[in-house]
Structure 1
Amino acid sequence: MARGRVVVTGASTGIGEATARRLAEEGFAVVATARRLARLRELARQIGCEFFPADLTDAGDVARLVGFLEEGEPVTALVDNAGGAIGLDSVADGDPADWLAMYEKNVLGTLRLTQALLPGLRRTGGDIVFVTSMAAHEAYPGGAGYTAAKHAERMIARTLRIELVGEPVRVIEVAPGMVKTEEFSLNRLGDGAKARAVYAGVDGPLLAEDVADVIAWTLTRPTHVNIDLVRVMSRAQADARTLVRSADDDGTLPVSALATDE
């Protein structure tokens, strides 16, 4: 018997995909959602999950996803993972359109689906996991647009935790540092070589599977235990700007590149 029905956003790649896989292994009935239908289909073929394609920045897509969810068993958990960063511009040079796009992806998309599923979770009990970032807790050069969005996302989680205290809903934040994934840095920087350089020389970088392991742990604690916050980084990283690289690293990476994270 399944441990519950959990919705995982951003499930077509990276932390979202790894989380869907891990939760399926843990016995949850997973509903994977993301924009790319082909990737969701392949994931479903491999792990036997439900799936529904949706762009969470589109209110109509969110409504259709919720309609699909209402046709099945009640949702008992939501993992808000979808998001992403654009560029490494300074505050002086930042493009407001990029800032708006990051806010839509990381904040309003998260808000829309959380609001839609919250009534059911309050009735039956359940969990909401917000996958934020080290960027939700720190500032670094070239990251203001992303850190602004992630700080705002974190405030959804913190405020909701206060608003729901005493109700049967756990509100959890998992904040990863730099995570070596297939697409995050590539999407942020738009260049394969630059994306690979972000992780160059890092001994034992944090992987998507490591974060998925933490998310699964928070969801499988006794129901009276609320893991308010987990900050997780590789041993080689201490904060957004402190990262140890191997001795053969030529040291030419800009400091801002060290802060590229999930």
Structure 2
Amino acid sequence: MSSIAIVTGASSGIGAATARRLAAEGFHVVAAARRADRLATLVKEITEAGGTATAVVCDVTSDGSVAELATAVGRLDTPVTLLVNNAGGARGLDPVESGAVGDWQWMYEVNVLGTLRVTQALLPALEASGAGTIVVVGSTASFTVYEGGGGYTAAKHAQTAVAGTLRLELSGRPIRVIEIDPGMVKTDEFALVRFDGDAERAAAVYAGVAEPLVAEDIADCVAWCATRPHHVNVDRLVVRPLAQAAQHKVHRVLPGTE
């Protein structure tokens, strides 16, 4: 069996695309997420394409669930060389003065503490491999704020702080830390989750944008960073679609404006 790559949030979107791509690169992928049925489908797809993968049901907001993930990985008795901290998400687009505390708590729990839990649990295995890599999937919200995005940008800024601090603390040990910060990525679920299933509001995010990024674009970035020679550390990779010059500057061609 080849070395192991663990991908959290692997049941959909960027996580699923990353799992497929890393399997194609020769990793044995441990696909971790909450939804067992989706993980089973993903593992079947990877296997049918000639790759290898293992599904592990995991909730990154649960200490016990993350511990079970580490135990399941240990049973594979194979070097662990890559961890992709992809699990995350946004809820709401309310201003700070009226934002729901519960939404903010959920975003911090998933994006920040989820990354912390999984990283702590897998660090011993990554170090034991002698050539470990941790990828943190952040966002352009990790370094830019915008109206209505207080809770999400706060969580993503914190996630960036975790990645940067970890890189300093691991200096001299055989583990590199890579942060990938995507801009506008159109996936099946991100905007739907943010707007509590409101398909119309979710679609409006991408209205008029000819070619937003898709999950496979980010998976390509993860694979490229992870497969560089181990002495090459890509500290931070920021990737946006051509149509998005900045967080607030997005070229849209709407009906009647051609």
TM-score bucket (shorter structure)? over 0.9
Check conservation: 2:176, 2:233, Cα contact below 8 A.
yes
Residues 1:244 and 2:251 aligned together: yes
2:236 is aligned, of 224, 229, 232, to 229
Structure-2 separation of matches of 1:238 and 1:118: 36
Tell me what 2:50 maps to: none
- Please name the residue that 2:123 is paired with: 118
Worse-matched range after superposition: 58-67 or 240-249: 240-249
Distance in structure 2 (CA, Å) of the matches to 1:247 and 1:9:
36
Counterpart in 2 of 1:203? 210
Equivalent-residue separation in structure 1 for 2:138 and 2:119 (angstroms): 14
CA distance in 2, matches of 1:74, 1:161: 21
Within 5 A, what are the aligned runs for 1:185-204?
185-190=191-196, 191-204=198-211
Cα displacement string for residues 87-138 of structure 1 (whole angstroms, at most 9, x for unaligned residues):
0010100111111111000011110010011122223231000000010010
The match for 1:216 is 223
Residues 207 and 254 in structure 2, CA contact (< 8 A), matched pair in contact too: no
1:23-64 CA distances to partner (integer Å, 9 max, x unpaired)? 111111100000000000000011021110111101111111
C-alpha RMSD over aligned residues: 1.1
Amino acid at match of 2:231: H
TM-score of the pair, normalised by structure 1? 0.93
Partner Cα distance (2:39, 2:67) in 1: 19
Distance 1:143 1:233 in 2: 18
Letter of the 2:6 partner, please give it: V
Alignment match of 1:151 (pick from 152, 157, 163) = 157
Q: In the alignment, is the contact (CA less than 8 A) between 1:85 and 1:188 conserved in 2? A: yes
Report matched runs for 1:1-262 at 5 Å. Answer: 2=2, 4-48=3-47, 49-72=53-76, 73-125=78-130, 126-190=132-196, 191-248=198-255
8 Å CA contact 1:31–1:51 kept in 2: the answer is: yes
Runs of 4+ in structure 1 off by over 4 angstroms are none
Q: Deviations 1:114-171 (Å, cap 9, x if unpaired)? A: 0011122223231000000010010000000000000111111100111111211110
* Residue type of the alignment partner of 1:51: A
Distance 1:249 1:119 in 2: 57
Contact 1:134/1:240 (<8 A) preserved: yes
Q: Which residue of 2 aligns with 1:253?
A: none
3-state SS in 2 of match to 1:175: strand
TM-score by length of 2: 0.94
The answer to whether the 8 Å contact 1:201/1:249 transfers is no
Are the counterparts in 2 of residues 200 and 249 from structure 1 also a CA contact under 8 Å? no
CA offsets 1:3-35 (integer angstroms, 9 cap, x no match): x21000000001000000111111111000000
State the percentage of identical aligned residues.
55
Counterpart contact for 2:209–2:243, Cα < 8 Å:
yes
CA drift of 1:230 comes to 0.2
Count, aligned residues? 249
- Deviations along 1:152-191, one digit per CA (max 9) or x if unpaired, are 1111110011111121111000000010000000000120
What amino acid is aligned across from residue 64 of structure 1 in structure 2?
Answer: E
Cα drift, residue 229 of structure 1: 0.5
User: Structure 1 unaligned runs (5+)?
Assistant: 251-262
- Distance of 2:203 and 2:241 partners within structure 1: 17
